[in-house]
């Protein structure tokens, strides 16, 4: 069993302007199948429009944003919302507020 606090994980650049990530739990803890990542998206920024071959589960922790689907439609999301993205579905997340979207 591993217990970690997100505050103890240093944020790293994601490779995209205004987006940082933290790998809270993953390969370093022995998990190759499930990885828990925490993203912070600055005001006016977005994650890249992308796909991956695994299901994606997202919990919105802070700020206001939009989940953008494969057809470009935007669904507003806010703290307490959960998003399921099926494998191979094109998507991204965009900050629509004035503080970090996490």
Neighbouring C-alpha atoms within 13 Å toward the C-beta of 18:
15
Taking 90 as the threshold, does the pLDDT of residue 15 lie above it?
A: no
Taking 90 as the threshold, does the pLDDT of residue 33 lie above it?
A: no
Q: What are the structure tokens assigned to 39, written together?
A: 């993203």
Span 62-87, mean pLDDT?
Answer: 97
Q: Residue 32's pLDDT is what?
A: 85
Span 69-88, mean pLDDT?
Answer: 97
Q: How far is Cα 85 from Cα 100, in angstroms, rounded to an integer?
A: 22
Cβ atoms 94, 49 nearer than 8 A: no
């Amino acid at each position: 069993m591993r217990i970690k606090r997100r505050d103890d994980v240093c944020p790293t650049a994601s490779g995209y302007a205004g987006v940082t990530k933290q790998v809270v739990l993953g390969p370093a803890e022995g998990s190759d199948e499930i990885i828990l990542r925490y993203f912070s998206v600055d005001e006016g920024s977005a994650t890249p429009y992308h796909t991956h071959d695994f299901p994606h589960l997202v919990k919105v922790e802070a700020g206001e944003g939009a989940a953008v689907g494969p057809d470009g439609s935007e669904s507003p999301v806010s703290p307490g919302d959960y998003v399921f993205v099926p494998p191979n579905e094109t998507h991204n997340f965009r900050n629509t507020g004035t503080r970090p979207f996490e």
